[in-house]
Amino acid sequence: MAGTPHVDMLRSPLGRARGLGSAKAGSAHWRAQRTTGLALLPLSLWFIYSVIHLAGAPRAAVMHWMSAPVPMVLMLALIIATFHHLQMGLQTVIEDYVHHEPAKMVALLLARGGPWLLGLICFVSVLKIGF
Amino acid sequence: MKDVREALMVARNTDGKLVRRPLSPHVQIYRWPISMALSILHRVTGVALGVGTLLLTWWLVAAATSDAAFATAQWFIGSALGLLLLFGWSFALFFHLYSGVRHLIWDAGVGFDSPTYNVTGWAVVIATGVSTVLVWVIGLAVW
């Protein structure tokens, strides 16, 4: 920047900030991110155990395993927690790094729709395998 | 200056002259402490795990569809590329999990001082390495 710095506008910081404040929903997002993260701790460890347990297993064995109530419910819980956590995480990353407003809006919509769709596909697949 | 945020960058030095405030150095200037690397790696592994859900989705859809579809998915997962992806997935999962626990501990208000910061940071790295290797040793033995 050339020359002596100077300010040639009168608008106050408060005037600029008005209407751009908190949406009053930040803590719900923060809490949900932690809650789903906490739920994913045991769920993902159980999932790793299950993947090893099912390594190389034929389809019939996988179907038999998933038709039992506990593995099925844990899979469904894992899917819900994973995709909810993913959606919130992607949202946070996009809000932090994408500053171009139209691109941000598109990215946020995709970060919401993508996990929703994938999650539903996984959810229905587990039900179809199990029943 | 047209932006009010820019106005906050204007200050007077000890001679009373108007100057532009100096900025603190950016990422490239700092010598990276462990926590800085782990912080960005937490986000990178998070996004990578998101991409990895595509593989989970494929596997579940294949299992729900037919024997042939399931065989194709199993073949891919068992291939060199599939195993590489699975290895990356397990590493990312363990890292994100341990790093996530570190975040939860911070959320409880514990572990913010600099020595603890470094110790827990390296603990995450070591736990990730040990867990990833252990799971693959067990996994390959079972498989």
Q: What is the pLDDT at residue B1?
A: 53
Q: What is the pLDDT at residue B2?
A: 62
Beta-bridge partner residues of B11: B19
pLDDT digits (tens, 9 = 90+) for A71-100: 999 999 999 999 999 999 999 999 999 999
Domain residue ranges in chain B: 33-142
From the number of C-beta atoms within 10 Å of its C-beta (0-12, 13-18, 19+), residue B127 rates as: middle
Q: Which fold has domain B33-142?
A: 3 helical TM bundles of succinate and fumarate reductases (1.20.1300)
Do A41 and B100 make contact, defined as CB atoms within 8 angstroms? yes
Sign of the four-CA dihedral B138, B89, A51, B71: negative
CA angle A33, A36, A40 (to 5 degrees): 130
Average pLDDT over residues B16-21: 86
Q: In 10 A of CB A74, how many CB atoms?
A: 18
Domain residue ranges in chain A: 28-130
Q: Which fold has domain A28-130?
A: 3 helical TM bundles of succinate and fumarate reductases (1.20.1300)
Interface probe for B, chosen from A14, A35, A59, A97 (most Cβ of B below 10 Å), is: A59
Residue B74 has pLDDT above 90, yes or no: yes
Q: Position of tokens 């975040």?
A: B103
For the record, the structure tokens of B142 come out as 């079972």
For the record, the structure tokens of B138 come out as 């067990």
Interface probe for B, chosen from A8, A10, A125, A127 (most Cβ of B below 10 Å), is: A125
Q: Minimal CA–CA distance to B99: which of B53, B135, B50, B45?
A: B45
